Amino acid sequence: MGLLKSMFGGGAGGALADRDSLQGQAHEFNRILTVGRPGRALIRGHVDAGERVAGNPVWVFDLEVTPDGAAPYPVQHREIVSTMAVGSYPDGKSLACRIDPVDPQKVAFGEKPFM
């Protein structure tokens, strides 16, 4: 929870905090994509959390995550996604994901690291 708090709440405001939040999200997702277990994430629903980072909304996605070879389970996932890009994440869409091996509530959309 510390990462989410540092990414999405409290502390310094302004452009530096926005940059740090965006970089923090990118590094965390890249870490999960590097070490994570493969799976699928079915988007059950999503809502705007009412927060903005660098002008972009923070979305809360209700997911059904299914690790390869295992049973599905629910995850509530927060992610900074621009208003224009959120159309790529419609309800009912199933996406490849990677699941944090230590905390299965942490997921990243994708199959391989991007950095």
pLDDT by residue (tens digit) across 33-91?
Answer: 999 999 999 999 999 999 998 889 999 999 999 999 999 999 999 999 998 999 999 99
Residue 57 lies in a domain: yes
- Given a cut of 70, whether residue 14 has pLDDT beyond it is no
What does the pLDDT read at residue 17? 59
Beta bridge partners of residue 94, listed in sequence order: 42
What does the pLDDT read at residue 112? 85
Residue 60 lies in a domain: yes
79, 78, 69: which is closest to 39 by C-alpha?
A: 69
Residue 114 lies in a domain: no
Number of domains in the chain: 1
Residue 41's domain comprises 2-109
Residue 87 lies in a domain: yes
pTM to 2 decimal places = 0.80
Residue 115 lies in a domain: no
How buried is residue 7: exposed, middle or buried, by Cβ count under 10 Å (0-12/13-18/19+)?
A: buried
- Given a cut of 90, whether residue 22 has pLDDT beyond it is no
8 A C-beta contact, residue 72 and residue 66? yes
103, 96, 114, 51: which is closest to 76 by C-alpha?
A: 103
